[in-house]
Amino acid sequence: MLVALIMGFSCGLPLLLTMGVLQAWMKEEGIDLTLIGLIALVQIPYTWKFLWAPFLDRYTLPFLGRRRGWLLIAQVALIFSIAGLGFTDPKENIWTMVAAAILVAFFSATQDTVVDAYRREDLSDEELGLGSSLYIYGYRMGTLLASGGGLIMADYMSWSKVYLMMSACLLPGILTTLFAPEPKVTAETPKTIKEAVLNPLVEYFSRSGALWILAFILLYKIGDTMASAITIPFYIDIGFSKTEIGTVVKIFGTWAIIGGALLGGVIMVRLGINRSLWIFGFLQAISTACFAILAHMGHSITVLSMVIAFENISSGMGTAAFVAFMASITNKKFTATQYALLTSVMAFPRVLASAPTGFLAKHMGWEIFFITCALIAIPGLLLLVKIAPWHSKETAAA
């Protein structure tokens, strides 16, 4: 559980350095809002990580074992690529920044793939709910440090120094990789690259309802993801300073997400994953619509705090249930590849569906935009009828 917590921190740290923090940097440099929204495309590696995940399943490096060897390489590469991103200039050469951000996303996606496989192999089915909650706890601590801390520091130092300090914060993850035990897997691992590529897909798509599950993973958090993709420019637009955003939205908000993730883990123990997906998904949709209230009210720390608390608690609970659900349906023989496939589909809205959010917000206005994001969540909730029915064997067992 401690390893899941610290590895979650290492996975959460790089994410917002290519999203919210990078958007704030671009906004400060006077980059157009449409282009700021399109910067979400640098996270395309998160949607394609299943392409190189079979290599992580098939090959074992000559040091640290099948999982930890790859994890160490990804983490060291991340340190250098994050530091390099900080020395780019969005105003003078935006394409150099884009290339550096894609590199960060690639190594971050690789780290995520290995950590997801490690967690699935290290924890029993009964431990996945709580383990996933602690992973989300650590993940949000990482995003708290990167986004909240990064935005506040940017008021007092250059962006290059901010990114340099963020890269150094990955050192605890490297120490954990060096000293954590390698998970023991009793299932036979792939012997050839063909087995590593084809067998996980054949095994998954031979299941009943495999395509419905992928559709559910794609749609369950799409509204929440689209809304959050453009919130930093939204806060700046309605008059909040970077320090206010860092303090209320990131620091206070991240603790709300952490509380939601831990609460979600406890609720899952009582209700099971299926019913939790229903309750948390409904709360996510309502909380997204609350941003329209903030857009209408304008600059108000009180309203901002209330909306952030509700939205982040709901998001934390929803993410914990979502991650536990995906882990529960993977085959331990092909953990990295199957989990990478599922999380790649999950990342699709964050990358491609988030790309036009700047254009939509610019032409629709913030209030209509957030209401639209809330309505987009409905199809994902309707799929729960087939994917995770309220009355099921899983619920009865819980």
pLDDT in tens, 200-231: 778 777 777 788 888 888 888 888 777 877 77
Whole-number pLDDT of residue 383: 87
Whole-number pLDDT of residue 141: 83
Under 8 Å between Cβ of 18 and 42: yes
Average of pLDDT values for 116-123?
81
Whole-number pLDDT of residue 108: 92
Task: Match 């990804």 to its residue by tokens.
Answer: 74
Q: How many domains does the chain have?
A: 1
- Provide the CA 13 distance to its chain's centre, in angstroms: 10
Whether 392 has a pLDDT exceeding 70, the answer reads: no
Q: Which residues contact 207 (CB under 8 A, 6 or more apart)?
A: none
Whether 5 has a pLDDT exceeding 80, the answer reads: yes
CA–CA gap between residue 357 and residue 373 (Å, rounded): 10
Average of pLDDT values for 170-174?
91
Measured torsion, CA atoms of residues 85, 353, 37, 82, in degrees rounded to the nearest 10: -10
Identify which of 105, 53, 101, 76 has the alpha carbon closest to the alpha carbon of residue 173: 76
Owning domain of residue 129: 2-397
Joined tokens for residue 209:
């309802």
Query: Long-range CB contacts (< 8 A, 24+ apart) of 190-194?
Result: 190/54, 190/57, 190/58, 190/333, 190/334, 192/58, 193/54, 193/55, 193/58
Whole-number pLDDT of residue 215: 84
Percent residues over pLDDT 90 in the chain: 9
Whether 186 has a pLDDT exceeding 70, the answer reads: no
Q: Which has the minimum average pLDDT: 128-137, 157-166, 354-363, 387-396?
A: 387-396
Identify which of 112, 114, 153 has the alpha carbon closest to the alpha carbon of residue 136: 112
Q: Is 396 exposed, middle or buried (0-12, 13-18, 19+ CB in 10 A)?
A: exposed
Q: Kindly report the CATH number assigned to the domain that includes residue 102.
A: 1.20.1250.20
Q: Which of the pair, 48 or 285, is modelled with greater confidence?
A: 285
Under 8 Å between Cβ of 135 and 119: yes
SS3 (DSSP) at 329: coil
State the chain's mean pLDDT as an integer: 80
Whole-number pLDDT of residue 42: 81
Which alpha helices (DSSP H) does 298-356 contain, by range?
Answer: 301-328, 335-348
Whole-number pLDDT of residue 397: 42
Whether 358 has a pLDDT exceeding 60, the answer reads: yes
Whether 198 has a pLDDT exceeding 80, the answer reads: no
Whole-number pLDDT of residue 56: 80
pLDDT tens-digit readout, 44-97:
788 778 778 788 877 778 888 878 888 999 999 999 999 998 888 877 788 888
Whole-number pLDDT of residue 103: 92
